[in-house]
Structure 1
Amino acid sequence: MIEILTPTELPAARVTGALVGHILQTLKGRATVGTNLLDIDRWTKEMILEAGATSCYVDYEPTSFGRGPFGHYICTAVNDAVLHGLPKNYALKDGDLLTLDLAVLKGGVAADAAISFVVGESQPAQSLALIEATRTALAAGIEVARAGNRIGDISHAIGSVLTGAGYPVNTEFGGHGIGSTMHQDPHIPNTGRAGRGYTLRPGLLLALEPWVMLDTAKLVTDADGWTLRSSTGCRTAHTEHTIAITDGEPEILTLAN
């Protein structure tokens, strides 16, 4: 299903997006050495409920992956974990690379975003380069996300940055449409051919999410059935925004106000 929002629905998307951005930045400020992932999940739950919103994750139980329901309010992935990180009893250490991925529903519209950052005083150059590559790739994808262009244009822009930085690209999981539900068509691989795929239209919401692993494109799944890690144990990073296609420049909805 591909949803196209009307101009009257877009303000609700802005509210949800701003909430997601605010929660993620608040959590980033709280995540220090010694912080437990379960505390991050608890803080997320408190902020979602206080805002009168609904988690897209806690009851999430897809048929294609995972061992559901997810049962938590945020994805917390550390170091070699990159996607669907199930919060667990783990205290963050100096130099850990933490990814927080959050999707929330409010006012009938969902928004989805992710941030990666290094915890503590140690800031390993290799980890910072991974994070920067995903940020740069996301900016490149957003730049071409304009009405009349195609999904392949976004995939090509993202993939060009990631491969240009020397990283392998996995296409099993990528960006997606979003609207009244978290995951919708179209699928947006993190590499692809320009000029191919669905034509972008004003009112379309997309969650673009470049993610990368240092030296492999292969994922392995934890025993929890959810957490996806690099097959080699290498570090990973993931950056995501929900955007709205407009008649002009794309609008990033998940920036913190």
Structure 2
Amino acid sequence: MSPAGESAVPSLRAAWRTLADGLLIQRLHLHVQEWRELVQSSGSLPDLGGVPVAALAARPSHVPGPQAQEVLAGAGLTYWWSLPQLHGVDADPDSGRILGAAEQARQRLVAEGAAQPWAEALRAVCEASAWWVGFFAIIRHRGVRHLTLEPNPEAIRAQVLDSAAGAVAYGMADRLLASALQTRDDVSARGAYCEAVSAGIEIERTLPALLEELGELRLVDLVATTVVWRGQFTKYAGGTGAGQVE
């Protein structure tokens, strides 16, 4: 299995992906101060019982090296790893890391000890996936419901956020590996790509239910537009805008 080739003229799907990336970055900049205040003042959140804010806000532990950064840049994912490094907070040793599904995704896709640039880049992608889910989880209770745009989304379980982090990690891994294989073929990277595609097929079966459980607009958009599935860019294909309540 190999990723589809990219034409010189960006496809409509690529344009939608760029739009989704832009919305994500815009939302971070719009809400980072609000997020920072909650991180500094809250031990836990009203809609995420028992989940420590420090664990959701922790800066990813690994900074990719220059070659891995080139792989990430080739996939348009510089923002994905660099913004968590810029805004993430120093981890509290006692807070732990609760979104372990993103790390499990990395372990499924990359053999332990793999040192290729794409493997290091994939580690950065997976760690960042947990951070992005955590970022929007922290401000979730101040958002709106994704279908009705009504305030006060219902409370959710930490397990739902963990599933979201895993889904996002596989989606971004798919994107990274597809890009990396366009510039250099690598047997192990190809195997990881096939595994990411398989994981995406597994996730798609449960994704509508996961999105419904996430409930809040920004979290739903994050997951729905990073996972590779039939509804990835439905809101753009249908001609509806995004960010209208920002």
TM-score, reference length from structure 1: 0.27
The structure that is helix-richer by fraction is 2
The structure that is strand-richer by fraction is 1
